[in-house]
Amino acid sequence: MQGYIMPSKELILLPEQIQGIRESADVSIHIMDELDKRIEEGITTNQIDKWVSEMTKQAGAYAATLGYNGFPKSVCTSINECVCHGIPSERKLKDGDIINVDITTILNGYYSDMSRMYMIGNVSDDARRLVEVTKRCLEIGIEKVKPYTPIGNIGNAINDYADENGCSVVRALCGHGVGLNFHNEPMVEHFRTEEKTMIMVPGMVFTIEPMINLGDFDCEVLDDDWTVVTKDNSLSAQWEHTILVTQTGYEILTGGNK
């Protein structure tokens, strides 16, 4: 009978590596906090990309998405039915939109990854509820990060809360190890599983980034090979943090004051 998976030693980061990720995360937090003051009705997603690019360079850092497998921008901007990987354009934000802004920063070779939702003007009750439920899904998932327990506990808790609130969890995309690379093990699923998943161990760093839909969980990729949207055109929301497993629980490296 198959047992739980133990992480390889490469996934247990050294204190100096964790400190490098923490410093990268400080840059990400600063950029996102500045965006909090600027994102509003009437601006384009290209303007968001320009701000992120400028602030990243000012910090002596790099935007991990720019040029990654051909991605053309420094940030992902995903509006309404867009689940993730939306490409900035001349599209203007309008009253009632919800938008996810996802940034990944490289500072001195260390990666940090985070995203936040923004509600533009007078959003619908359903949109507001979705954004709030999704944020709570992230919080509930983080609360399940405990050393020497299965990483699958995260998705189980998120899935239960989403179900209780009449929402669905995207299954085609997941959280991931981050820090020394953009993406590596472990994969962090956000839906319920009965599989024996990897055990969390102090020193592991990964993202939790639930994508929650008002409708069905099915999604598809548009012709640009990046933009992921809901198949039924229902609204989608996402929040993301980079998490460190500690000896007693967790540290939200991209937490800031949020």
Q: What would the pLDDT profile of 75-133 be if each residue is shown by its tens digit? A: 999 999 999 999 999 999 999 999 999 999 999 999 999 999 999 999 999 999 999 99
pLDDT score at 258: 44
Contact 152, 193 (CB under 8 A): yes
Residue 248: per-residue pLDDT: 97
pLDDT at 51: 98
Strand partners, 184: 177
pTM of full prediction above 0.95: yes
Average pLDDT over residues 10-14: 98
pLDDT at 257: 52
Could you give the domains of the chain? 9-252 (3.90.230.10)
Q: What is the DSSP letter of 122?
A: S
DSSP letters of 180-233? SSSSEEEEE--S---S--BBP-TT-EEEE--EEESS-S-EEE-TTSS-EEETT-
User: For the residues 246-250, what does the mean pLDDT come to?
Assistant: 98
Q: For residue 148, how far is the Cα from the chain centroid?
A: 24
User: pLDDT tens for residues 44-62?
Assistant: 999 999 999 999 999 999 9
Residue 89 has a pLDDT of 98
- Of 16, 26, 173, 187, nearest in space to 105 by CA: 26
Place of tokens 């303007």: 47
* Residue 22 binned pLDDT confidence (cut-offs 50, 70, 90): very high
Asked whether 161 and 139 are in contact (CB, 8 A), the reply is no
* CA 146 – CA 107 distance, rounded (Å): 27
Mean confidence (pLDDT) of the chain: 97
